[in-house]
Structure 1
């Protein structure tokens, strides 16, 4: 069932339940309110009649009020509380006897009297002085009030029905407005599924749906970039592997066919050994990247002090810096630590540092700082820096600068840093070259 229909059914069901409960409560209360109101009116009329009867010197008689009482659809009984007897009434004696047998006249708190299947609202007013024991009892049929009750409920149901129809129409309108963006978003996801990224269009939405739409488009962009990076990876990988293989094949065939002299053979063998070493390095780094991406168990984090890793980087980079005449410096606090795999993090720092040494003119600087709850490791050089067009792809596989080797070193560094719970970024250095910043949250 579609979401729109589910929402409409849920809203309509809730509306019907609320209306039913409301109608039941009103139906239960309306009769009590009508009885109380009718009783109050009877008391007012009864007091007026008592005043008139009190002014008469002779024995009170209710015959003079028969016309008035008939117009008001009222019945009147003149009752003597002392003798427990009915002195006079506007209703036949047989009915009065029925009232006497079915009801307790001495119960002054009873609001409703019964006579067979009929009910009557009563109001009792005493004559003054009370010592006379005379009491005027007014009665009105409950059927009239029940008719008013039924008429009121009928009109209320009509109002409820009209309101329910209007509410359902509004519900359909608003749910349609809510579901339509979701439907359009579904079609955009179908385009992502079919990899038709260029056909994706924004949709009009608000609130959480807008946030979902934004996430979907970000996911589509990231997926598109990933697919392009994979295509670039395979293209670059095939190129990186094809070039040394063709060199090895050419020299091997030349040596086999005897077209090289001794000197050329020796040179060819050296070239073949060099290219085989290069292939081995590329393959080993590709295998390492595959393991980092797929084998989480190969990563063993532990508490480690950053200064120890930086000192090891300085020691291992010393031969390269001495050969190129590059000055490398560091500034690290002794007590800063993170949780990472020491061996793999050393590999990441060494890859970035060697990359900086390769491009530096005279110096490379390593700084480790604590900023709030973050530990940052920055490695920067005074070289030519990284082209702005290359920065978004610098951590992709087989993406390398002018003096790059395999194009896998920075990709390996990023994979290790991200597995350590950190992130790595690149920008421009105050020294003039590139600046790589690795950030970790303190735990």
Structure 2
């Protein structure tokens, strides 16, 4: 069953339950309310009649004269004498009078219903002054009359409920359709993402949480598209980077096998083959490291590291290359600066960035640590504008680059450390790399 149908069925079922319970409660309460209202109305009428009796028919002869007056009223009542247990006057048929007397109905509580056979009556009993006279006026209304009013009221209420339910179900269908339609459209867009038809994605009109979900889906699609593109670029670049040394090795190997080289060229060829094999080994090792960084995040073991100690290790390991290039490596670190990182991996990232700066620097490389921010900059030619947006991508390298994986590895390590790495221009004239970590 589709979601729209499920929502409509659930809403309709809930509505029916609510209306049924409400109708049952109202039906149960309405009769009691009618009885109370009718009893109060009878009492008002009875008190008026008693007032007339007291004022105009105060004597016994007057009471007898009042009996004929009562029979002329459009009321159902008894004039009852408690002392003698006699009905002095009545507007009801004689069979009711005899029936009530036979069942001793007049001895009941004032708020009780009087019964005769299957008929019930709502009563209101008013004493006539003086109380010692024992005279009591009893007004009655058949319960059937009130039940008829109850049935009529409930029928009208049922009609109102049915009209309201129909309107509510129609509104429910409209709202659920409005709610489900964006989901159906979103499903179509997800199918396009599944088939990698990123160029065919279309925005959907929605509000609330569905709009947020749709936005998340589009952001996921953009990220997936970038990932697919980067993977394609990665494999293209990887095949190119691996193909070049392999072709060199193959060429020298075939030349040596076919003895087309003299002894000196053979030695040169073997040397070149060893160099290219080492280059291949370095590329493959760095590709394996990148794969591990992407897939084995559980091996990352962060700890609190003193920034001064970490930068000291970077300077010590970079010293041979610094001496070879004849440049100056400056470093300045806040004494109390600490980082919560995997020390070995972050050391690898800092070495990659530092070695990259040393290779491109003219005279100096500066490393500075302030708080949780590390900057590494040089006075070399800097990063070209066309290369800057892709500087951290795999196999993207500058003029003096080696494998094109060093900065990609650095970015992966920094991001795995919960940090962020950016590249830009340095005030020294070269490149500047900024590593920011959360404390």
Question: Which band: TM-score by shorter chain?
Answer: over 0.9
> Is the deviation greater in 49-58 or in 232-241?
49-58
- Aligned residue for 2:129, secondary structure, equals coil
**CA deviation profile, 1:253-309 (whole Å, cap 9, x unmatched):** 222222222332222222222212111111111122222223345433333222211
Rounded to whole Å, the distance in 2 between the matches of 1:214 and 1:436 is 32
Partner of 1:180: 181
Aligned Cα RMSD in Å?
2.0
- Aligned residue for 2:315, secondary structure, equals helix
Partner of 2:14: 14
Quote how far apart the aligned CAs of 1:331 are.
Answer: 2.4
Q: Does 1:68 align with 2:65?
A: no
Partner of 1:400: 397
Partner of 1:426: 423
Quote how far apart the aligned CAs of 1:200 are.
Answer: 0.7
- Aligned residue for 1:265, secondary structure, equals helix
List aligned pairs for 1:74-223, cutoff 5 A: 74-102=75-103, 104-223=105-224
- Aligned residue for 2:381, secondary structure, equals coil
**CA deviation profile, 1:164-193 (whole Å, cap 9, x unmatched):** 111111111111011101100100010011
Closer, same or farther: CA 36–432 of 1 in aligned 2, 3 Å: farther
Q: Does 1:38 align with 2:43?
A: no
Partner of 1:247: 248
- Aligned residue for 2:366, secondary structure, equals strand
Rounded to whole Å, the distance in 1 between the matches of 2:375 and 2:68 is 113
Rounded to whole Å, the distance in 2 between the matches of 1:362 and 1:335 is 29
Quote how far apart the aligned CAs of 1:6 are.
Answer: 1.0
- Aligned residue for 1:335, secondary structure, equals coil
Quote how far apart the aligned CAs of 1:339 are.
Answer: 3.1
Quote how far apart the aligned CAs of 1:8 are.
Answer: 0.8
Closer, same or farther: CA 103–271 of 1 in aligned 2, 3 Å: farther
Rounded to whole Å, the distance in 2 between the matches of 1:305 and 1:46 is 100
- Kept after mapping to 2: 8 A contact 1:103/1:114: no
Rounded to whole Å, the distance in 2 between the matches of 1:336 and 1:83 is 110
Runs of 4+ with >4 A deviation: none
TM-score, normalised by the number of residues in structure 2? 0.93
Rounded to whole Å, the distance in 2 between the matches of 1:383 and 1:82 is 126
> Is the deviation greater in 156-165 or in 289-298?
289-298
- Kept after mapping to 2: 8 A contact 1:122/1:137: yes
**CA deviation profile, 1:340-373 (whole Å, cap 9, x unmatched):** 3222211111111111222233332222233xxx
- Kept after mapping to 2: 8 A contact 1:381/1:434: yes
Partner of 1:274: 275
TM-score, normalised by the number of residues in structure 1? 0.92
Closer, same or farther: CA 22–297 of 1 in aligned 2, 3 Å: closer
Partner of 1:322: 323
- Kept after mapping to 2: 8 A contact 1:63/1:90: no
Rounded to whole Å, the distance in 2 between the matches of 1:131 and 1:105 is 17
**CA deviation profile, 1:57-93 (whole Å, cap 9, x unmatched):** 4241323232322xxxx31111112333322212244
Partner of 2:341: 340
Quote how far apart the aligned CAs of 1:217 are.
Answer: 0.9
- Kept after mapping to 1: 8 A contact 2:361/2:380: yes
- Kept after mapping to 1: 8 A contact 2:111/2:124: no
Quote how far apart the aligned CAs of 1:131 are.
Answer: 2.7
Structure 1 unaligned runs (5+)? none
- Aligned residue for 2:18, secondary structure, equals helix
> Is the deviation greater in 266-275 or in 37-46?
266-275
- Aligned residue for 1:68, secondary structure, equals coil
- Aligned residue for 1:399, secondary structure, equals coil
> Is the deviation greater in 398-407 or in 79-88?
79-88
Closer, same or farther: CA 183–103 of 1 in aligned 2, 3 Å: farther
Structure 2 unaligned runs (5+)? none
Q: Does 1:224 align with 2:225?
A: yes
Rounded to whole Å, the distance in 2 between the matches of 1:203 and 1:433 is 46
> Is the deviation greater in 150-159 or in 123-132?
123-132
